[in-house]
Amino acid sequence: MKDGWLYIVASKRNGTLYLGVTSDLATRIWQHRIGAVEGFTKKYGCKHLVWCEHFENLHDAREREWQMKKWKRAWKIELIEKENPEWRDLWHDINR
């Protein structure tokens, strides 16, 4: 089974957030960055990777996504700020 990634992309600090799952984080974030896929992230400009978590399999990442989709926005912001207080775009960290 493939590894999985749960991630949050944002339009800007404290801006619009999108929570997603993928098995190929670098490719998926690149797609968000260039607006390759029509939908929510393109419409709202969510292209900055501000948080991510690795899972040994995609199923576990999806389960965590389902849990976190029920979270309040404030909880997601708290999670981001705990690990990435400056809301740095982590794209450069994963794309080395």
Please state, in angstroms and rounded to a whole number, the distance separating the CA atoms of residues 73 and 46: 15
Domain that holds residue 10: 4-94
Strand segments, DSSP code E, in the chain are 4-10, 17-22, 48-55
The number of distinct structural domains making up the chain is 1
Give the pLDDT confidence of 14-65 residue by residue, as tens digits: 999 999 999 999 999 999 999 998 999 999 999 999 999 999 999 999 999 9
Quote the pTM value: 0.95
Query: Phi and psi for 53 in degrees, rounded to 5?
Result: -140, 135
Query: CATH code at 42?
Result: 3.40.1440.10
Give every CB contact of residue 65 below 8 A, 6+ residues apart in sequence.
6, 19, 20, 21
